[in-house]
Amino acid sequence: MDIDLNDKEFGLFQRLIYNESGINLTPAKKELLKSRLMKRLRERSLSSFKEYYQYVTEENTTGEELVSMLDCVSTNLTEFFRESAHFDFLSEKGLPILLESKRKNREKKIRTWCAGCSTGEEPYTISMVLAEHTEQLSGWDIKILATDLSTRVLKKAMDGVYAKDRLRGIPLHMLNTYFKKGDGNLNDHYQIKDYLRETIMFRRLNLTDETFPFKGQFDFIFCRNVMIYFDKQTQAELVAKFYKHLAPDGYLFIGHSESLAGTDTRFRYVRPTIYQK
Ligand SMILES: C[S@@+](CC[C@H](N)C(=O)[O-])C[C@H]1O[C@@H](n2cnc3c(N)ncnc32)[C@H](O)[C@@H]1O
C-alpha cells in the first residue's frame, strides 16, 4: 500500500526530528524518511502520516513511540576499525603521550567517551586498541562510556555479537585474542570477550541535550560521523560541550568527512579530524 507523505507532513516530521535529535533532514531526504517511518505506521496499524504524527506527538503519552521513531530515523552505519588512521594515532601518539603525563601525575585512570557509538563496533575497536597496551596498562583503571540516541543499536552493542562478515576490519591476531566463536545456531558469529565488554558502559544519551550528566572529564572523545547529520549551530554547541568535558590535553576525534573549520572553538588542530584541548 502506498501512503503519501505530503510536503506539509514532511515539514512537521522534519521539525519534530530536528527538535528531538538535532538530525537535520533536507527535502532531498523525504523519500528516505517516508520509507523509514512506514515501518512505524505498519507497526501501529495506521493508514496515514497525519495519524502517525498525532499518535507520536499527542496520543502516546509515555514517549515510547518517540524513542521508536528516532530509532528508525537515525542512520547507524559503522564498522570495526572504521577510519583506521585514528586508531593508529591513538596507539602510536595519543596514548603514549597521555600515559607519560599521567605517570608523572601519579594518576592511573583513562576515560574515553564514544559519542554516537551505534552498534558497538567503534567502542569495541577502542577497547581492543587500549588492550593492546596491556603490559603498560596493567594496574590502570580504564573505562569507556559509549552512548547513542537509538535504543535499538545500543541493545545490539551491549550483546557484542557480530556475524563473521562484520569482522572484516579486525586484524587476525586481535580477532583471535578478543573474540570467542559462537556455538549452536550462532556458529557463524563471534562475541567480544567479557573482560573487554565489561570496560564499556553503554547508555542512551541525546547529544543535543543542553547538559550532560558527567562528573569527571574524558581523555579521549570520539564523535565520528554523527555531527554530519546536524546543522552548523547544533554542531558548534556540541563541540563546545565536548571542550568542556575533555580533560586538558585530551583529544577529540571526528569523522573523516567532518571538520571544525569555521566553528568558533578553542580546540587546537592536530591533524585532519583530530583536535586537542
Ligand atoms: C553513522 S552512525 C556513526 C557510528 C560510529 N560513530 C562510526 O563512525 O562508525 C551515527 C550514530 O549517531 C547516532 N545519533 C544521531 N543523532 C544523535 C543524537 N542526537 N544523540 C546521540 N546519538 C545520535 C545515531 O543513532 C547513529 O547510531
Shortest-distance atom of ligand 1 to CA 22: 19
Atom of ligand 1 nearest to the CA of 114: 6
Asked if pLDDT for residue 11 goes beyond 80, the answer is yes
Can you give the pTM of this predicted structure? 0.96
CA distance 49 to 34: 9
Asked whether the beta carbons of 210 and 238 are under 8 A apart, the reply is no
Q: Please tell me the distance from the alpha carbon of residue 134 to that of residue 70, in angstroms, as a whole number.
A: 38
- DSSP codes of every residue in the chain: ------HHHHHHHHHHHHHHH-----GGGHHHHHHHHHHHHHHTT---HHHHHHIIIII-TTSHHHHHHHHHHS-----TTTTTHHHHHIIIIIHHHHHHHHHHTT--EEEEEEES-TTTHHHHHHHHHHHTTHHHHTT-EEEEEEEES-HHHHHHHHHTEEEGGG-TTS-HHHHHHHEEE--GGGTTEEEE-HHHHTTEEEEE--TTSSS---SS-EEEEEE-SSGGGS-HHHHHHHHHHHHHHEEEEEEEEE-TT---TTS---PEEEETTEEE-
In this predicted structure, the answer to whether residue 169 has a pLDDT above a threshold of 80 is: yes
User: Which amino acids bring their CB within 6 angstroms of ligand 1?
Assistant: 21-23, 74-78, 82, 116, 118, 122, 148-150, 153, 206-208, 224-226, 229, 255
pLDDT score of 48 more than 90: yes
The closest residue, in CA terms, to atom 26 on ligand 1 is 76
Q: How confident is the model at residue 133, as a pLDDT?
A: 87
The atom number, within ligand 1, closest to the CA of 77 reads: 1
Each residue of 99-121: pLDDT tens digit? 999 999 999 999 999 999 999 99
Share of the chain above pLDDT 90, in %: 92
Task: State the distance from the centre of ligand 1 to the C-alpha of 34, rounded, in angstroms.
Answer: 20
Q: In the numeric block, which cell numbers belong to residue 214?
A: 558527567
Span from the CA of 74 to the centroid of ligand 1 (angstroms): 7
- Name the residue with the closest Cα to ligand 1, atom 3: 225
Using an 8 Å Cβ cutoff, are 91 and 134 in contact?
A: no
Q: Which listed residue (71, 148, 219, 224) is catalytic? A: 148
What does the mean pLDDT of the chain come to?
Answer: 95
Examine the residue annotation and report whether 7 is marked as an active-site residue of this protein.
no
pLDDT score recorded for residue 264? 84
Q: Which fold has domain 85-276?
A: Rossmann fold (3.40.50)
The predicted structure's pLDDT at residue 174: 96
Residue 187 Cα to ligand 1 midpoint, Å, equals: 29
Instruction: Provide the pLDDT for residue 67.
Output: 95
- Pick the residue whose CA is nearest to atom 23 on ligand 1: 149
Question: What ligand 1 atom has the least distance to the C-alpha of 207?
Answer: 20
The rounded Å distance from CA 87 to ligand 1 centre is 19
- Give the pLDDT score at 138: 85
Model pLDDT, residue 263:
86
Rounded Cα distance, 267 and 251, in Å: 9
What separation in angstroms does the CA of 165 have from each of 12, 50, 79, 169, 170?
39, 40, 11, 10, 11
Whether residue 1 has pLDDT greater than 80: no
Distance 225 CA to ligand 1 centre (A): 7
Span 46-56, average pLDDT: 97
CATH number of the 7-73 domain: 1.10.155.10
- Would you kindly state where each structural domain of the chain is located, as residue ranges? 7-73, 85-276
Catalytic, 148? Answer yes
